[in-house]
Amino acid sequence: MSFSSFAEFLAMGRHGLYVWSSFGITLVVLALNVALPLLARRRYLQEEARRMRREEMQ
Amino acid sequence: MTMSWTWLHKLGSPKWFYEISGRWLSWLAWAAALLIGIGIAWGLAFAPADYQQGNSFRIIYIHVPAAFLAQSIYVMLAVAGVVGLVWKMKLADVALQQAAPIGAWMCFVALLTGAIWGKPTWGAWWVWDARLTSMLILLFLYFGIIALGQAIGNRDSAAKACAVLAIVGVVNIPIIKYSVEWWNTLHQTATFKLTEKPAMPVEMWLPLLVLVIGFYCFFAVVLLLRMRLEVLKRESRSAWARTEVAALVERRS
């Protein structure tokens, strides 16, 4: 451990704001990159399910 | 000679790609989650602070992997462009189109974390330094490829145009790499070199290495997720894709 207390870890010397905002934004971007294709896939499968139901009715 | 290319055509078969990537996906996802989790905890809490920069140096643990990816993904786009143009492989265009947004996001992360690091370290969010400027050009190249792919309605023409832009734009990659040596830049020179030992102590660069590998695994996961959906859409007329979609719909309901 390079910090002696949790408060010190949060403070990151005088650079807490810089370090935590960098890591925070990066994690949000990574999460978005996973979520967007998964949501797109769900949307596509919903559309296809609707189309299949329509075709069955005809 | 003709025999030796069969693997390439097999690799280019959408059905084969869909099956094999399905098997790789969960392994890659686990590797990415573990490596990034371990790397971030290690870099944030356990690596020693830099004697000059203090704790702001920890930003490199995401800045460097993102910058590596932004450049590697662009090279991949150019390679996919060549493969698509020369061997007319459709899957190469799928890879090119689906990797470009990920590359743009990584380029954005590299630029943004660089700016946030620059403020406490250089005293400025941004300078028109050769490295920073060439990275900004890389972001615009990504935007250009994404816009071109969406603007051209005909898929074959769009694929060709994007491939050409990706190949032409690859000249920017050596400019980014050598910018810190050719020009007198504020940006420091490379952290990792293949020919030399890193100037950092091992407890500083090991978490960085873990994160670089983790980010590459992450890219592979997101690329496969995106490509698999695109392949299903493009192949929606073929029997195997219909069967697969029907099975997936069945599983969801």
Nearest Cα neighbor of B247 from B22, B27, B29, B20 is B22
Q: How far apart are CA B187 and CA B179, in angstroms?
A: 9
What are the tokens at A7?
Answer: 């408060």
Question: How many folded domains does chain B comprise?
Answer: 1
Within a domain: B81: yes
ipTM over 0.90: yes
Q: Considering only alpha carbons, which residue of chain B is nearest residue A33?
A: B222
Contact B233, B98 (CB under 8 A): no
Higher pLDDT, B179 or A38: A38
Q: Is residue B7 domain-resident?
A: no
Task: State the pLDDT confidence band at A10, using cuts at 50, 70 and 90.
Answer: confident
Position B1 pLDDT exceeds 60: no
> How close A55 comes to chain B (CA, Å)?
13
Does residue A39 belong to the interface with chain B, where contact is any CB pair within 8 Å? no
Please indicate, yes or no, if residue B34 is contained in any of the structural domains. no
Q: In this complex, which of B44, B109, B229 lies closest to A40 when CB atoms are compared?
A: B229
Pick left, alpha or beta for residue B241 (phi over 0 → left; psi -120 to 50 → alpha; otherwise beta): alpha
Q: Which tokens go with A46?
A: 């919903």
The domain in which residue B180 lies consists of 57-245
N- to C-terminal Cα distance for chain A? 67
B54 and A25: CB-CB below 8 Å?
no
Question: What does residue B54 show for φ and ψ, rounded to 5 degrees?
Answer: 70, -135
Q: Per the CB < 8 Å rule, is A19 touching B58?
A: yes
Percent of chain A with pLDDT over 90: 60
* Domain layout of chain A by residue ranges: 30-57
For chain B, give the mean pLDDT. Answer: 90
User: What is the distance, to the nearest Å, from the Cα of residue B131 to the centroid of all Cα atoms in its chain?
Assistant: 18
Q: How far apart are CA A55 and CA A57, in angstroms?
A: 5
Q: What is the pTM of this model?
A: 0.92
Which residues have C-beta within 8 Å of that of residue B173, sequence separation ≥ 6?
Answer: B71, B74, B75, B138
Tokens for B102? Answer: 């990920």
Average pLDDT over residues B67-79: 97
- B25 is a domain residue: no
The pLDDT of residue A13 is above 60? yes
Residue B238 lies in a domain: yes
Residues of B in contact with A15 (CB under 8 A): 54-56, 120
Q: What confidence category does residue B6 fall into, taking pLDDT thresholds of 50, 70 and 90?
A: low
* Closest by Cβ to A49, choosing from B40, B44, B249: B249
